[in-house]
Amino acid sequence: MAQLFRRSTNQLSKVSIVLILAGLGGVAWGGAYLSTSGYVTGEDVVLNQPVPFSHDHHFSGLGISCLYCHTSVEKAAFAGIPPIATCMNCHKEIWTNADLLEPVREAYRSGIPVQWERVHDLPDYVYFNHGVHVAKGIGCQSCHGRIDQMPLVYQDGSLTMKWCLDCHRAPEKSVRPKDAIYEFDWPPQGWDQAVEGPRLVEEYGIESLTYCSVCHR
């Protein structure tokens, strides 16, 4: 009986199978990497805003408290965007003719709010309560990173479900004293999170909530 294939075909078929499997694995890895990259999650991406507001300047430079602008941060589901009148409390007196701030002045004159691009934008199917997290000792830095050093705000964390669950499963790694919520460059020298974290979790009555309906309601 005549041989239809050369003996080398066996080796070629094995190599082909390996290459196909490697290619499929590469595609799967690339898809997984892309799905968690900043290109998809928005992490580290600076959005174009009508006015280039700097937390570095206002918070770190001028010492304006987070609560001056984000008045509902401790009691509401949303931290809140300050009304334009809050901006004008200062900018009636300083930088009154700066071209950069014309959208602010126009919003004040017309009563039409500045159309900010939301940076930390969770999907509509996710329930998040800002006030609860602050009340339980989770500081600004835990979610927003070093926003005090950002000339332009960007999303510091991925905001993926895994990112949230990592904290929910081990809240002792993130909790801090409530009087340090608005402090950055945390923890201070001498602070032992491994000791103090579990103590604060017990003191604040924090539960490790990881079941679906906590966030998906």
Taking only the tens place, the pLDDT of each residue in 148-178 is: 999 999 999 999 999 999 999 999 999 999 9
Delimit the domains of the chain by residue range: 55-81+116-214
pLDDT at 172: 97
Span between the terminal Cα atoms of the chain, in Å: 70
SS3 at position 97 = coil
**Tens digits of per-residue pLDDT, 95-131?**
999 999 999 999 999 999 999 999 999 999 999 999 9
**Mean pLDDT over residues 75-95, rounded?**
94
List all residues 6 or more positions away from 213 whose beta carbon is below 8 Å from its beta carbon: none
Inform me whether the pLDDT recorded for 11 exceeds 90: no
Buried b (16+ CB within 10 A) or exposed e, 147-166: bbebeebbbbbbbeeeebee
Q: How far apart are CA 217 and CA 126, in angstroms?
A: 8
**Mean pLDDT over residues 74-97, rounded?**
94
Q: Which two tokens stand for residue 165?
A: 């669950």
pLDDT at 8: 66
CA geometry: angle 139, 145, 148, nearest 5 deg: 90
pLDDT at 201: 98
pLDDT at 6: 66
pTM of the model: 0.80
**Tens digits of per-residue pLDDT, 21-36?**
778 787 777 666 666 6
Inform me whether the pLDDT recorded for 1 exceeds 60: no
Please report, for residues 3, 11, 168, the alpha-carbon distance to residue 8 in angstroms, rounded to integers and kept in the order given. 12, 5, 56
pLDDT at 161: 94
- Helix axis angle, 84-91 relative to 102-110, nearest 10°? 120
**Mean pLDDT over residues 2-10, rounded?**
63
For 8, the enclosing helix (H) or strand (E) is: helix 8-35
